[in-house]
Amino acid sequence: MPTQKEKAEAFHALHHRQGRAFLIPNPYDPGTARLLALMGFEALATTSAGFAFTRGRPDYTTTREEMLAHAADLVSATSLPVSADLENGYGKTPEEVADTYRRAAAAGLAGASIEDTTNDPANPFYDTPQAVERVQAAVSAVRQLDFPFQLTARTENYLNGKPDLADTIRRLQAFQEAGADVLYAPGITKKEEIAELVRSVDRPVNVLMGLKGAPYSLQDLQELGVTRVSVGSALSRAALGGFLRAAREMLQEGTFHFADEAEPYQDLTQLFASVSQ
């Protein structure tokens, strides 16, 4: 098993590989993490929504302690580097934010993200100076480590009813100046907007796929200059979609045809046996 430093260095290298974007899928428990590693992915990222759904709760209802324990479970499940979705840093003050990222490193993570949202529906965003201060706090915490922890700064404009590309770029540029390693604006789906965002910053850019209206391939995004592609809660939602369709069939039709498309028991048993050895 590689050390945390070795995983962090490998994760850093993925972000600076010339001309080759990489996929960073989002498992939601140790089992899905192991399956993704077995399939050949190079790194993994947590999903706050996917994890919350496993607890029977909506997104943004898990605590820092719950999320970091979950992240540590995924870190221990495979030899791949793992980056964590840490929402807005789980802290109201920069000091609390910094403590979150010190704890994230202690959990074995190779990277983590921070959002510019407040979790207050009446005022959903930190203003730019406050958001920058919070990014700086996270950056300061991880720069004290002896390995290259990848800090991803996110602006949530497009996921919160504010599809303002100019403001999105201004915020990400400010986060870049604050020291963020990776920049991310989930929810952008138009190819021309993705291209403009990539041109406007000089850090690796993560793009979210798995949303409706974003029918691009990894090759398409790579040609736009995107470095990293994640899918957020999409794998979790795909699994839960199959579960709900099966449950509705049993309840409403009294039939069990869903089992015809289920992964065979023996195949899953053999897969998990191979990754447990």
Residue ranges covered by each domain of the chain:
4-233
Which candidate, 3, 81, 5, 4, places its Cα nearest to that of 37? 81
Inter-residue contact 107 to 72 (CB < 8 Å): yes
Q: Residue 214 above 80 pLDDT?
A: no
What confidence tier does 210 reach under pLDDT thresholds 50, 70, 90? very high
Nearest to 208 by CA among 233, 227, 229: 229
Nearest CA-CA partner of 11 in 129, 137, 152, 133: 152
Poorest-confidence range of 130-144, 207-221, 244-258?
207-221
The model's pLDDT over 216-241, given as tens digits with 9 standing for 90+, comes to: 999 999 999 999 999 999 999 999 99
Tokens of 162: 């504010």
CA angle 115–121–122, rounded 5-degree value: 115
What is the Cα–Cα distance from 231 to 23, expressed in whole angstroms?
A: 9
- Please check the confidence at residue 79 and state whether its pLDDT lies above 70: yes
Confidence of residue 215 (pLDDT cuts 50, 70, 90): confident
- The pTM of this model reads 0.97
Name every residue whose Cβ is closer than 8 Å to that of residue 98 and which is 6 or more positions away in sequence: 91, 137, 138, 140, 141
Query: pLDDT at position 233, please?
Result: 98
DSSP 8-state class, residue 180: -
Q: Note the CATH architecture for domain 4-233.
A: Alpha-Beta Barrel (3.20)
pLDDT computed for residue 277 by the predictor: 61
Q: Which residues pair with 183 in a beta bridge?
A: 153, 205
User: Does residue 270 carry a pLDDT above 70?
Assistant: yes
Q: Is the pLDDT confidence value at 187 over 90?
A: yes
Neighbour-count burial of 55, counting CB atoms closer than 10 A to its CB (0-12 exposed, 13-18 middle, 19+ buried): exposed
Distance, CA of 90 to CA of 88 (rounded, Å):
6
Judge whether 16 and 93 are in contact, CB under 8 Å: no
